[in-house]
């Protein structure tokens, strides 16, 4: 059965974005927008669509959770043996997208991607709830085929018995963080009549003082 959405539309009128008034660093604006999304009680504003593409040239996209904004990029954690991990091993470039409907905003982030330090990954893993730590061990490998849910639940129960609530769960070698080092980031603010504001930051050559050199441009909607 087909579905027709051609008569469904909204007019975006909640904000504006002026190229002349944006900060020199995109990370300043990224942090500001993230804080505004949190203040507006956007559900899980740190949830982002992550797009990867492996050697087969077939793009894949899924939701992951942002866990840190660094001085150079954004960090998330996952199973290194997952489908996304395989894509990244074959093609170390990725894009992330945040969309906050309540604020009529989206942010596109693109750049190179690499594993973060193993000690940092382990430190974060040990902060997670105990059962989430146990659950990570069930996914060997993540995205692998399983006969049914009962198999998953039995494995989880066995791992809970092996690692009771008062005992530490070892950090899996196949689990950890990735950082997307940003080389381009687009801020999109919805406007009326599809006259949206789109400001893109592109990373240029590092200055003699080691500071990042960002250029901005406005795109047509």
Residues 181-189: what's their mean pLDDT?
98
Helices (H), 129-210: 130-138, 149-162
Model's pTM, two decimal places?
A: 0.94
In this structure, is residue 129 part of a structural domain? no
Residues 105-118: what's their mean pLDDT?
98
State the pLDDT at residue 209: 80
128 catalytic? Reply is no
Percent share of the chain, pLDDT over 90: 93
In this structure, is residue 57 part of a structural domain? yes
Among the listed residues 62, 128, 194, 218, the single catalytic one is: 194
DSSP 73: E
In this structure, is residue 155 part of a structural domain? no
How many domains is the chain built from? 1
Residues 9-38: what's their mean pLDDT?
96
CB contact at 8 A, 76 and 175: no
Q: Is the pLDDT of residue 212 over 90?
A: no
CA pair distance 217, 198, nearest whole angstrom:
8
Q: Is the pLDDT of residue 205 over 90?
A: no
In this structure, is residue 111 part of a structural domain? yes
Least confident among 19-33, 103-117, 135-149? 135-149
Residue 211 belongs to domain spanning: 19-75+88-122+177-218
The pLDDT-based confidence of 108 (bands split at 50, 70, 90) is: very high
In this structure, is residue 208 part of a structural domain? yes
Question: What are the phi and psi torsion angles at 188 (to 5°)?
Answer: -120, 125
Residues 128-153: what's their mean pLDDT?
92
In this structure, is residue 203 part of a structural domain? yes
CB within 8 Å of 176: residues ≥ 6 apart = 77, 78, 80, 115, 116, 118, 121, 122, 125
Looking up residue 29, the CATH number of its domain turns out to be 2.30.110.10
The pLDDT-based confidence of 56 (bands split at 50, 70, 90) is: very high
State the pLDDT at residue 141: 80
The pLDDT-based confidence of 71 (bands split at 50, 70, 90) is: very high
Task: Tell me the pLDDT tens digit for each residue of 144-181.
Answer: 899 999 999 999 999 999 999 989 999 999 999 999 99
């Amino acid at each position: 059965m087909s579905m027709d959405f051609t008569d469904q539309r909204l007019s975006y009128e909640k904000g504006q974005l002026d190229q002349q008034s944006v900060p020199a660093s995109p990370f300043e604006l990224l942090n500001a927008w993230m804080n505004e999304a949190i203040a507006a009680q956007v559900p899980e504003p740190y949830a982002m669509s992550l797009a990867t593409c492996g050697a087969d040239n077939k793009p894949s996209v899924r939701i992951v959770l942002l866990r840190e904004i660094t001085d150079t990029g954004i960090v998330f954690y996952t199973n290194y043996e997952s489908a996304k991990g395989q894509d990244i091993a074959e093609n170390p470039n990725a894009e992330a997208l945040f969309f906050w409907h309540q604020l009529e905003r989206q942010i596109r982030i693109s750049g190179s991607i690499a594993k973060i330090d193993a000690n940092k990954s382990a430190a974060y893993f040990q902060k997670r709830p105990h059962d989430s730590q146990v659950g990570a061990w069930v996914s060997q490998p993540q995205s692998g085929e399983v006969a049914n849910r009962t198999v998953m639940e039995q494995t989880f129960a066995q791992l809970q018995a092996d690692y009771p609530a008062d005992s530490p769960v070892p950090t899996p070698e196949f689990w950890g963080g990735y950082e997307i080092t940003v080389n381009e980031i687009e801020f999109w603010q919805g406007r009326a009549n599809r006259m949206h504001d789109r400001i893109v930051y592109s990373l240029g050559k590092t200055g003699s003082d080691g500071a990042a050199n960002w250029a901005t441009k406005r795109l047509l909607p």
